[in-house]
């Protein structure tokens, strides 16, 4: 049962999760989420094998430990902590063992499991935004309660990764890759959140990550902890508090369009989101610092184009490919006479000029195009 209007609680956090979690969850009116004897699935963010939570790349085991204690006090039955790392991590269990999540969970008599091994529930042609076949861990459907424990981080593809994206760890490893490769990741994630509905979502912004998130960013030292029964509502509060507009965060934008949340209808308790607002450095801003000399016109472009373009240029630079001498132009604005035009909007704003189509164009396509066009000039009649 969800609270109407959706409620999101915010408390200042110094990382003392055992002390902070009970008042935070009381403020979020989540105390009755678990009934005695109910089984609980806790889904942290363990997307990569790292040996410390101090980088804010993965969920702090201390937070999960405090959550298990809180659930036990409410009479929870079986408790399982489960997540699947990004495609290719071998063995997947290393995401638990390296950071010490295994010991924290075991010391409390709970269990842990890497999601990678199934069983899976199959969804065939279930959404226009999904690959034809999507397999989601049966764990998402076989526990009485799901508690979603995400981090506040920036993200290369989605601008931010919070509670809604955190559910991607419940997918079959191949689908994780396909969500990125086929269609638009943000739309696929919104569809996933319409199928898997956590009972409680916690977003840890005690540290937070900015810049090259979700893995290689820098610690933001933000100092806040968020919780709510409605995952999309938590998303709608944390995102602007990170200084990210809804138009930049496509997962949230599409969730609003799908009617999953009305940001204006959310009740916030605890800290005032306007007062805690801190602008997180965008991934493309951090990447641009690595590309001295590159000329980019992108004031009228949205983040998805910026992210893909700068990511493509960074990957090319890392591979030893010289950056383009010509100015690279994205977004719906008139371009200079010799600009390389990337994306649907750049094409629409400069009619008759050659451009790379796509919305946003994919990273590999941008690399190919910039390499191919680097030596050439704009040709008015040579449309792709
Ligand atoms: S082409 Fe698409 S992604 Fe790029 S600026 Fe236009 S709307 Fe945004």
Domain CATH number, residue 88: 3.40.50.11440
Residues 270 and 293 in one domain: no
Instruction: State the DSSP code for 261.
Output: -
The answer as to whether 221 is a domain residue is yes
Q: CA-to-CA distance for 71 and 77, rounded, in angstroms?
A: 9
Instruction: State the DSSP code for 94.
Output: H
Torsion angle of the four alpha carbons 315, 319, 323, 328, in this order, in degrees rounded to the nearest 10: -30
How much distance in Å is there from the Cα of 314 to the middle of ligand 1? 20
Spatial CB neighbours of 172, under 8 Å, sequence gap ≥ 6: 118, 120, 134, 135, 136, 137
The residue from 276, 293, 324 where one domain ends is 276
Parallel, antiparallel, or unpaired for β 218-219 and 200-210? antiparallel
Q: Which residues pair with 225 in a beta bridge?
A: 11, 204
Cβ contact 299:336 at 8 Å: no
How much distance in Å is there from the Cα of 341 to the middle of ligand 1? 12
Residues 155 and 103 in one domain: yes
The answer as to whether 378 is a domain residue is no
Residues 232 and 319 in one domain: no
The answer as to whether 382 is a domain residue is no
Residues 85 and 209 in one domain: yes
Residue of minimum CA distance from atom 2 in ligand 1: 359
Residues 69 and 206 in one domain: yes
How much distance in Å is there from the Cα of 342 to the middle of ligand 1? 9
Atom of ligand 1 nearest to the CA of 344: 1
Residues 248 and 113 in one domain: yes
The answer as to whether 24 is a domain residue is yes
How much distance in Å is there from the Cα of 361 to the middle of ligand 1? 8
Parallel, antiparallel, or unpaired for β 200-210 and 145-155? parallel
Q: Which helix (H) or strand (E) holds 35?
A: none
The answer as to whether 384 is a domain residue is no
The answer as to whether 380 is a domain residue is no
Cβ contact 255:237 at 8 Å: no
Residue ranges around ligand 1 (CB below 6 Å): 301-302, 304-305, 330-331, 343-345, 359-360
Residue of minimum CA distance from atom 8 in ligand 1: 302
Written as tens digits, the pLDDT of the chain (384 aa) is 455 789 999 999 999 999 999 999 999 999 999 999 999 999 999 998 899 999 999 999 999 999 999 999 999 999 999 999 877 788 999 999 999 999 999 999 999 999 988 899 999 999 999 999 999 999 999 999 999 999 999 998 899 999 999 999 999 988 887 887 677 889 999 999 999 999 999 999 999 999 989 888 899 999 999 999 999 999 999 999 999 999 899 999 999 999 999 999 999 999 999 999 999 999 888 888 878 888 888 877 766 687 788 888 988 988 999 888 899 999 889 999 889 999 999 999 999 999 999 988 988 999 999 998 754 444 433 444
How much distance in Å is there from the Cα of 331 to the middle of ligand 1? 6
Helix intervals (H) in the chain:
17-27, 61-73, 94-97, 101-106, 139-142, 163-166, 173-181, 185-195, 231-241, 250-257, 273-276, 283-288, 303-318, 344-349, 363-373
Residues 51 and 128 in one domain: yes
* Residue position matching structure tokens 């240029």: 313
The answer as to whether 91 is a domain residue is yes
Residues 195 and 295 in one domain: no
Instruction: State the DSSP code for 157.
Output: T
Residues 24 and 72 in one domain: yes
By residue range, what is the domain housing residue 107?
A: 7-276
The answer as to whether 320 is a domain residue is yes
**Tally of domains in the chain:** 2
Residues 361 and 251 in one domain: no
Atom of ligand 1 nearest to the CA of 301: 5
Q: Is the peptide bond before 360 cis (omega within 30 degrees of 0)?
A: yes
Residues 219 and 326 in one domain: no
Angle (deg, nearest 10), helices 17-27 and 61-73:
60
**pTM, rounded to two decimals:** 0.83
The residue from 250, 276, 302 where one domain ends is 276
The residue from 276, 300, 327 where one domain ends is 276
Q: CA-to-CA distance for 68 and 239, rounded, in angstroms?
A: 27
Residues 365 and 327 in one domain: yes
């Amino acid at each position: 049962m969800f609270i109407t209007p959706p409620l999101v609680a915010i408390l200042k956090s110094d990382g003392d999760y055992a002390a902070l979690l009970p008042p935070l969850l009381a403020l979020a009116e989540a105390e009755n989420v678990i009934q005695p004897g109910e089984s609980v699935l806790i889904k942290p963010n363990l997307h990569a094998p790292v040996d410390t939570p101090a980088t804010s790349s993965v969920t702090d085991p201390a937070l999960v430990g405090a959550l298990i204690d809180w659930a036990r006090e409410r009479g929870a039955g079986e408790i399982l902590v489960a997540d699947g790392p990004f495609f290719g991590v071998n063995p997947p269990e290393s995401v638990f063992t390296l950071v010490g999540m295994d010991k924290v969970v075991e010391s409390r008599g709970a269990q842990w499991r890497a999601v990678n091994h199934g069983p899976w529930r199959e969804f065939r042609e279930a959404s226009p935004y999904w690959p034809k076949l999507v397999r989601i861990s049966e764990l998402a459907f076989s526990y009485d309660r799901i508690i979603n424990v995400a981090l506040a981080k920036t993200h290369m593809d989605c601008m931010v990764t919070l509670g809604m994206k955190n559910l991607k760890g419940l997918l079959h490893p191949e689908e994780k890759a396909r969500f990125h490769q086929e269609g638009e990741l943000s739309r696929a994630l919104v569809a996933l959140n319409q199928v898997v509905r956590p009972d409680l979502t916690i977003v840890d912004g005690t540290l937070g990550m900015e810049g090259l998130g979700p893995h290689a960013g820098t610690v933001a030292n933000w100092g806040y902890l968020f919780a709510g029964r409605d995952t999309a509502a938590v998303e709608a509060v944390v995102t602007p508090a990170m200084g990210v507009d809804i138009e930049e965060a496509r997962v949230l934008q599409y969730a609003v369009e799908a009617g999953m949340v009305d940001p204006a209808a959310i009740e916030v308790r605890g800290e005032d989101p306007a007062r805690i607002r801190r602008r997180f450095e965008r991934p493309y801003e951090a990447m641009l610092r690595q590309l001295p000399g590159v000329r980019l016109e992108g004031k009228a472009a949205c983040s998805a184009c910026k992210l893909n373009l700068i990511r493509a240029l960074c990957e090319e630079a890392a591979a030893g490919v010289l950056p383009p001498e010509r100015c690279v132009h994205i977004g719906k604005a008139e371009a200079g006479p010799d600009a390389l035009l990337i994306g649907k909007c750049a094409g629409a704003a400069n009619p008759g000029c050659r451009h790379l189509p796509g919305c946003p164009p994919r990273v590999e396509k941008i690399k190919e195009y910039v390499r191919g066009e680097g030596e050439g000039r704009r040709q008015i009649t040579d449309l792709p």
